[in-house]
Amino acid sequence: MASSNVLERLELRAVEAEKLIESLKLEVADIKKSSSSLGRVKLEVENERLRKEVEEWKDKLIKLEVTNGKLQIPLPSQNGVSTAACGERLPQQKERTGSSEVKVKPPVEDAPVESKPEDRKKKEKKQQVGDESKKGKATSEEPPVDVGRLDLRVGRIVEAKRHPDADSLYLEQVDVGEEKCRTVVSGLVKHVPLEDMQGRMAVLLCNLKPAKMRGVTSEAMVMCASSPDKVEILAPPGGSVPGDLVHVEGYPRAPDLVLNPKKKVFETVAPDLLTDGAGVATYKGVPLAVPGKGVVSAPTLAGVHIK
């Protein structure tokens, strides 16, 4: 009898335990569900906030583009009606109420817009001003056309001989301070004896475009004082060495790598290259000089052009 009571109590407790376990399972499930729901709500709130922020920035960007004249491409709205990128309805669209189909005139790309005569004039004037501005900018970036564009250097004629194919020309090898001598062709046969050419110091224009003279490429030009009756090679100041640069005060050296024949830089400068009353070589009255050594001069020719 006692054993039967014990079993009944055990069975009752087992049932109660099972009920308690089921209750606990339900509570855990509710907790999990509540936690998941709360996280989802937080995510939805955060997503909504981000969406609004994106929309705000997009509107700002569109307004900025419209202010700067950037074309806004129409975008389809949810109801199928094309709208401008800034959210405004396009003027071309037409709607019908009720069950009528919404008809939208598609935007025309690259359609020419006929401008008024006064608008065309303003546009042409604006373009002209822009072109002049660009032209002025290009001019300001290029050095002025003066003696500073010429690469004038002291050189020594290492060797001179008659040109094999021209009686009036000399062929010279000239040291201008570079790794090797330059070949120079000069029409000085009638003015300077061959023996006076050997080892002679001279001033050379070194950035002329190389040119063939009777089959030989000349890479520089010997600068001379010239009158109708006489030609003299310009003499550098005493103590000059090959490669010394010739300067003119007030005209900074900015020589072109190679003078462009089309720009006629030398032809523009040449009329102002003269010897003064003392035979000093000048540009617009300012002496050609090797800094610290002296001025360039002609032995006997004064007041004549330099070529």
Contact indicator for 288, 246 with CB cutoff of 8 Å: yes
* CA–CA gap between residue 161 and residue 216 (Å, rounded): 13
Of the candidates 271, 224, 246, 257, the residue with the CA atom closest to the CA atom of residue 176:
246
Please report the DSSP string for the chain in residue order: -HHHHHHHHHHHHHHHHHHHHHHHHHHHHHHHHHHHHHHHHHHHHHHHHHHHHHHHHHHHHHHHHHHTTPPPPPEE-TTS-EE-TTSPBPTT-B---TTPPPB-PPPPTT---PPPHHHHHHHHHHHHHHHHHHHHHHHHHSPPSSGGGS-EEEEEEEEEEE-TT-TT-EEEEEE-SSSSPEEEEE--TTTS-HHHHTT-EEEEE--SPPEEETTEEE--EE-EEE-SS-EEE-BPPTT--TTPBPEETTB-----SS--GGGTHHHHHGGGEEE-TTSBEEETTEEEEETTTEE-B-SS--S-EE-
pLDDT band at 276 (very low <50, low <70, confident <90, very high): very high
* Angstrom distances, CA of residue 118 to CA of 121, 159, 163: 5, 71, 68
Question: Rounded to 5 degrees, what are φ and ψ at 107?
Answer: -65, 145
Contact indicator for 301, 281 with CB cutoff of 8 Å: no
Q: Above 70 in pLDDT, residue 224?
A: yes
Of 39-48, 160-169, 235-244, 277-286, minimum mean pLDDT range: 39-48
Q: Where are the domains of the chain?
A: 147-306
Q: Tell me the average pLDDT across 173-196.
A: 95
- Based on C-alpha coordinates, what's the Rg of the chain? 47
Amino acid residing at 36: S
Distance in angstroms between the alpha carbons of the first and the last residue of the chain: 146
Q: Above 80 in pLDDT, residue 138?
A: no
Q: Which of 52-61, 92-101, 210-219 has the highest mean pLDDT?
A: 210-219
% of residues, the chain, pLDDT over 70: 74
Q: What's the pTM value of the predicted model, to 2 decimals?
A: 0.55
Cβ burial, residue 218 (10 Å; 0-12/13-18/19+): buried
Q: Name the CATH superfamily for 147-306.
A: Nucleic acid-binding proteins (2.40.50.140)
Of 108-117, 119-128, 219-228, minimum mean pLDDT range: 108-117
Predicted confidence (pLDDT) per residue in 28-71, tens digit: 777 777 666 667 777 888 888 888 888 888 888 887 777 777 66
* CA–CA gap between residue 150 and residue 118 (Å, rounded): 49
